[in-house]
Amino acid sequence: MVDDIGATVSQTPEVAGTAASVPGRKNPWVAWSQLVLLAVLVLYFAVKAFLPAWTHLNSDFPNYYLTASLYRRGYPVEQVYDWTWFQRQWDHTGSEHRVVSYVPLTEPSALVIAPWAGLPPLRAKHVWLVMNLLFLALTAILLKFSTTIRMPTIALLIFLATLPLRDNFLLGQWHVFVLLLLTLAAWLYFSRRFFSSGIVLALAAGMKIYPALFLIYFVFKKQWRAAMGLIAGLLAGAALSLGVFGWDACMIFAREVLPRALKAETFDPYAVQWESLSALLRHLFVAEPELNPAPVAHLPWLFALLQPLLHGLIFVVFMWAISLRAGKGEGSKLEWAAYLFMLLLVSPQPAPYHFVALILVAVLVIDDLVRHQQPAIAGWVALIYALICGPLHRVPHQAVARGWGSLLFFPKLALLVVFAGVLLWILVSRAPESFRSALYLRNAAIAGCILIVFATAGFVSNVRHLKGQFENYKSRLFARPDDPLFASEPKITASGIWFVGMTKDGYELRRLKAGVVQDVPGTEGDWLHPAALDRGDSMWVEQAWAGGSRVMHFVAEDASDGLAGMTVEAENAEEPIVSADGELMAFTREVRGRNSLWVRPLQGDLKTKAAGERELVGAEYDVRDASFAPGHEVVFSARRNGRFRLHLVSQLGKIEEMSNPTCSARYPAISPDGEWLAFSCEQGGNWQIHTLNRRTGEDVQLTSAECNSITPAWTLDSRSLVYATDCGRGLGLTALAEVRVK
């Protein structure tokens, strides 16, 4: 590659007269070695990425496909960020069984799939894979137009991104498309079509949010046309999202999803797979009973300080280095590459496929080195880039990821820091002024003030966000290091605490009894929302599978042998609840994504039960959660005018909206003694547990941290609640905790 770079330099008129001549004849052995390496990389891509992607759905393509399919069928999409609701919809498609999730993706990112979401999932993925090959080809052409590098070298640099490309194709991700948009925006910017460049970046931001941060770069460079193009594109995209998906869906993303995404709290925030500064600092200084039980020390205040301080330092240093080239023109390729790399470096949860964008960075940096006749440095840059994008292997023993041993699990982050150092050195070396003069007092004072403001604001924000997050750690019901990601929908009976757990293969029913968690193996599909008589032995659970959803009945003490011997209680039924006297079962039934509420007797044979089935609440209410009250009344939550409200419905079908609570409320649960109503109240984008005394109207808030506390369930003595909480965890990936009520 070095000789190829040197040959390119000698053929580049831009550097003629500004640098010494470099021999144009290319070493044939080097040329052949490059072609051989390119062939090996293409073969690796075909065998490890494209062919497996062609034959298997894998994840994450089903996430986009399902959302696009729901949109095409007229379903409301504001529930796509609900883990169990989204899983249920996937089960109903009858496709290959797997765990799906739409957290933290933007709604517009599903629109690209919408035109062919009517195809079977694997065929739709085939179309997307072919389009991704086209995107790669178009990216290569744009890179050729934007740089002086020859096409074989561009192809080599593209396929050196082995792991990002592999994961992007295997998982059916969007990052090759985002790379194309970033490259097109860069080409337009270099061609001085600034407004159009901003528009294209706004389109990329609709897929993945970080391109929107180029607004800071444009303002810093005083390139107002590009800034106005980006702002206009973002406003147009927001208007399109509101028009296509509706106010509710957009507000849920803006209020509940986006803030947690910016805090690196989607999925497991401690996972070493992210290899980000945020993940490393959490691993070192923030404990979590199941996800990170052994940090160096539980010092959340230190995390709150270091995270914005280090991110701010990276931002200030990069912007200072870019400012040194103020006299070099507005279309600097090196500046564009440096800023894009900085965004990737400070990204809170970058998966390997995010680094597809590093292809653009590498090509632009190497092009700059080529034009300045620095082939040796270009070779080192290519090597570091290849290592970052290569299939690095971590230390094999998971037990090492404890305390300071966590540092061994972040080799890619170390390489990124090295790459950052090389980029900064190149930027400084290109400056028209000396390094010493660039550090004069005024520049240092401005940079220091910006860093102090950035770090202080981030520290205050982090402290406020982390306040109260760890208070329920002592009341967590269990810690399960082997499978800790998700526990929700608790139901307390004399036979134990039943709840839903997530595995890599789907959702299953589990029981906590005498401090031991027992898996209850099911048959086909996913198992959701257990229901039971408080002191009886009968249990009900929803089975979501290719045939739809149905309520199944089983005996609690027989569950140790699995759920194979259960019987069907109700077809086309979801989320069962049972009256305290065991006479009635209520459940929801879906009508094009909106739920109606039904009730049926539990006594008699199946034919008698089916004949007694009747609708209590129509689908226009879109019932989300329900609980039986004394006298067979049902308390249910429904979304009305953008807010959830609790309602009371009698067995005669008379519906009354409850005057209390006044907040947007979900997950009602009536205590066994009938005196208390527990529920979750939405406050500032977070859900908090409240209790309401049904006799006096007294409303007591039991949780308050900037996280979600949902699905409360009463203990049999009506004195405590067991609930699901994602405090200190990923959004919606809850653990179980207990809180005393009275």
Choose the final residue of a domain: 438, 464, 490. 464
Q: How many other CB atoms are there within 10 angstroms of residue 263's CB atom? A: 19
Choose the final residue of a domain: 430, 464, 498. 464
**Continuous segment of H or E residues that includes residue 23:** none
Q: Tokens 């041993």: give the residue.
A: 405
- pLDDT at site 561: 65
Whether the upstream peptide bond of residue 13 has omega within 30° of 0, thus cis, is no
Q: What is the 3-state secondary structure (H, E, C) of 506-556?
A: EEEEEEEECCEEEEECCCCCEEEEEEECCCCCEEEEEEEECCEEEEEEEEH
Residues 499 and 433 in one domain: no
Side chain identity at 244, as an amino acid letter? V
- pLDDT at site 478: 80
- pLDDT at site 643: 87
Mean pLDDT, residues 345-359? 93
Using pLDDT thresholds of 50, 70 and 90, give the confidence band for residue 404: confident
Residues 157 and 293 in one domain: yes
Alpha carbon distance 646, 679 (integer Å) = 9
Side chain identity at 229, as an amino acid letter? G
Mean pLDDT, residues 17-28? 45
pTM: 0.90
pLDDT beyond 90 at 287: yes
pLDDT beyond 60 at 202: yes
If you compute the radius of gyration of the chain from its CA atoms, what whole number of angstroms results?
28
- pLDDT at site 9: 38
Mean pLDDT, residues 678-686? 95
CB contact set of 109 (below 8 Å; sequence gap of 6+)? 64, 174, 206, 207, 208
pLDDT beyond 60 at 300: yes
CB 89 within 8 A of CB 101: no
Percent of the chain topping pLDDT 90: 67
Residues 493 and 402 in one domain: no
Residues 487 and 459 in one domain: no
**Continuous segment of H or E residues that includes residue 626:** strand 623-628
Using pLDDT thresholds of 50, 70 and 90, give the confidence band for residue 230: very high
pLDDT beyond 80 at 250: yes
Q: How many residues does the chain have?
A: 742
Residues 446 and 486 in one domain: no
Could you give the count of Cα atoms lying within 13 Å of 317 in the half-sphere of its Cβ?
18
Q: What is the 3-state secondary structure (H, E, C) of 439-494?
A: CCHHHHHHHHHHHHHHHHHHHHHHHHHHCCCCCCHHHECCCCCCCCCCEEEEEEEC
Mean pLDDT, residues 260-287? 91
Residues 577 and 604 in one domain: yes
pLDDT beyond 80 at 535: no
DSSP code per residue over 278-316: HHHHHHHH--BTTTBS--S---HHHHHHHHHHHHHHHHH
Mean pLDDT, residues 229-242? 95
- pLDDT at site 96: 83
pLDDT beyond 60 at 537: yes
Alpha carbon distance 244, 622 (integer Å) = 20
Mean pLDDT, residues 8-36? 53
Enter the tokens of residue 704.
């308050």
Q: Which residue has the higher pLDDT, 328 or 216?
A: 216
- pLDDT at site 504: 83
- Collapsing DSSP to helix, strand or coil, 237 comes out as helix
pLDDT beyond 80 at 440: no
Choose the final residue of a domain: 413, 434, 464. 464
DSSP code per residue over 155-168: HHHHHT-HHHHHHH
CB contact set of 364 (below 8 Å; sequence gap of 6+)? 146, 147, 186, 333, 334, 336, 337
- pLDDT at site 18: 34
- Collapsing DSSP to helix, strand or coil, 738 comes out as strand
Distances (CA, A) of 323 to 198, 211, 215: 20, 20, 16
Mean pLDDT, residues 423-428? 91
Alpha carbon distance 732, 488 (integer Å) = 9
pLDDT beyond 80 at 16: no
Q: Which of 100-114, 297-311, 433-447, 636-650 has the lowest mean pLDDT?
A: 433-447
Q: Tokens 């293409």: give the residue.
A: 42
Q: What is the 3-state secondary structure (H, E, C) of 642-684?
A: CEEEEEEECCCCCEEECCCCCCCEEEEEECCCCCEEEEEEEEC
Residues 342 and 421 in one domain: yes
Using pLDDT thresholds of 50, 70 and 90, give the confidence band for residue 442: low
Mean pLDDT, residues 210-214? 95
Residues 656 and 567 in one domain: yes
CB 410 within 8 A of CB 272: yes
Residues 451 and 481 in one domain: no
The model's pLDDT over 113-134, given as tens digits with 9 standing for 90+, comes to: 899 999 999 999 999 999 999 9
Residues 485 and 606 in one domain: yes
- pLDDT at site 156: 96
Q: Which of 315-329, 341-355, 613-627 has the lowest mean pLDDT?
A: 315-329
pLDDT beyond 50 at 699: yes
Fill in the DSSP letter of residue 240: H
pLDDT beyond 60 at 395: no
Mean pLDDT, residues 578-593? 92
The model's pLDDT over 602-631, given as tens digits with 9 standing for 90+, comes to: 988 878 888 889 999 999 999 999 999 988
Mean pLDDT, residues 340-347? 95
- Collapsing DSSP to helix, strand or coil, 347 comes out as coil
**678-709 burial, b for 16+ CB within 10 Å, e for fewer?**
bbbbbeebbbbbbbbebeeeebeebbebbbbb
Q: Tokens 């046309």: give the residue.
A: 225
pLDDT beyond 60 at 10: no
Residues 431 and 484 in one domain: no
Using pLDDT thresholds of 50, 70 and 90, give the confidence band for residue 282: very high
CB contact set of 594 (below 8 Å; sequence gap of 6+)? 76, 619, 620, 622
Mean pLDDT, residues 205-216? 93
Mean pLDDT, residues 487-507? 92
Residues 396 and 509 in one domain: no
Distances (CA, A) of 98 to 95, 143, 251, 285, 506: 9, 38, 28, 33, 6
Q: ∠ CA(516), CA(521), CA(522), 5° rounding?
A: 145
Percent of the chain topping pLDDT 70: 91
DSSP code per residue over 249-281: HHHHIIIIIHHHHHTT-SS-TT-GGG--HHHHH
pLDDT beyond 80 at 394: no
Side chain identity at 311, as an amino acid letter? H
How many helices (H) and strands (E) are present in the chain, helices listed first?
A: 23, 23
Arithmetic mean of pLDDT over the chain: 88
- pLDDT at site 12: 39
Backbone angle region of 719, left / alpha / beta, with phi > 0 → left and psi within -120 to 50 → alpha: alpha
CATH assignment at residue 690:
2.120.10.30
3-state helix, strand, coil split of the chain in percent (to 5) is 50, 20, 30
Domain that holds residue 677: 473-740
- pLDDT at site 22: 37
| Count: domains in the chain | 2
Distances (CA, A) of 99 to 60, 522, 524: 10, 15, 14
Using pLDDT thresholds of 50, 70 and 90, give the confidence band for residue 569: very high
